[in-house]
Amino acid sequence: MNIVIGLIITFGCIIGSFMAMGGHIQALMQPFELVIIGGAGLGGFVMANHFKVIKDTIKAIGEGFRYAVPTERQYLDVLAVLYSLMRDLRTKSRNEIEAHIDNPQESAIFQAAPTVLKNASLTNFICDYVRLVVIGNARSHEIEALMDEELNTILYERLKPYHSLTTMADAFPAIGIVAAVLGVIKAMAAINEPPEVLGHLIGAALVGTFLGILLSYSVFAPMNAQIKVVRTKQHRLFVIVKQTLIAYMNGSVPQVALEYGRKTIAETERPSIDALEQEMMGAAAA
């Protein structure tokens, strides 16, 4: 929603000020300049990225417009799943634990947390490392190092849309100059036309430069910043898992280990201790 509001403010102020200065809005209506800039930018984007990245970029733009950051419910679901698994690790057999992590879709623990189960990558991340805890041969610092490597890989993959869009946005001002040059070439071909015709052609050419800079700095750059914020906050769910399980492996009881995970959440978004305790009581009763 913030992106939509920002775009309304940006275009409202730019176009409104242009008209207030006596400019004619028709002068900015140059669809082929936009086709040149947008087409060249899109073509370069397609050339530079794999189809999976292109598909993920479309998804990331949608997430940016919705500001699809984790909710308190999602944070509590992750913590509740971890608490239930850590509690069972202390009280149940290996076979009972493996039944949950080998088939999370059928697990009562994961079914009680639908937001976790819906996130396949997060579910696999939890199951993989709980499995290593169950095996019991690995040391906590070795698991932590492995987690850090995987977390870096996950974040790198999640931010590919951000980096690809940044590259495209950085290219728009230069592509705008290309569109402007093409417009000037067209104007020079009509050099014998009257001044009013020639002026219109030169003005149309300059719109290319205007659009290139506008798209880069006032549309794609802020939208891309929002995508980075959203994807980074989504990645926080994985960090919670890491901190909680490492604390548990280092000897913390489940209730204390959860605090290690909860404290990694931004203060403004962090579930309260009371909310977490209610979640643990619900998990214990299940």
Instruction: Give per-residue pLDDT as tens, 45-75.
Output: 999 999 999 999 999 999 999 999 999 999 9
The verdict on residue 11 lying in a domain is no
| pLDDT at residue 285 tops 70 | no
Tens of pLDDT along 205-214? 888 899 999 9
- Whether residue 24 is contained in a domain is answered as no
Task: Give the mean pLDDT of 281-285.
Answer: 69
- Could you tell me the two tokens for 266? 């931004």
Structurally, the chain folds into a number of domains equal to 1
pLDDT at residue number 217: 93
pLDDT level of residue 284 (50, 70, 90 thresholds):
low
pLDDT > 70 fraction of the chain, expressed in percent and rounded: 99
For residue 4, tell me if it sits in a domain: no
For residue 277, give its domain range. Answer: 32-286
Question: How much is the pLDDT for 75?
Answer: 95
Residue 2: closest CA among 168, 230, 196 = 230
Q: Is residue 16, in this structure, part of any structural domain at all?
A: no
The model's confidence at residue 286, banded by pLDDT at 50, 70 and 90, is low
* 110 lies in some domain: yes
Residue 13 lies in a domain: no
**Within a domain: residue 21?**
no
* Interacting residues of 93 by C-beta distance below 8 A, sequence separation 6+: none
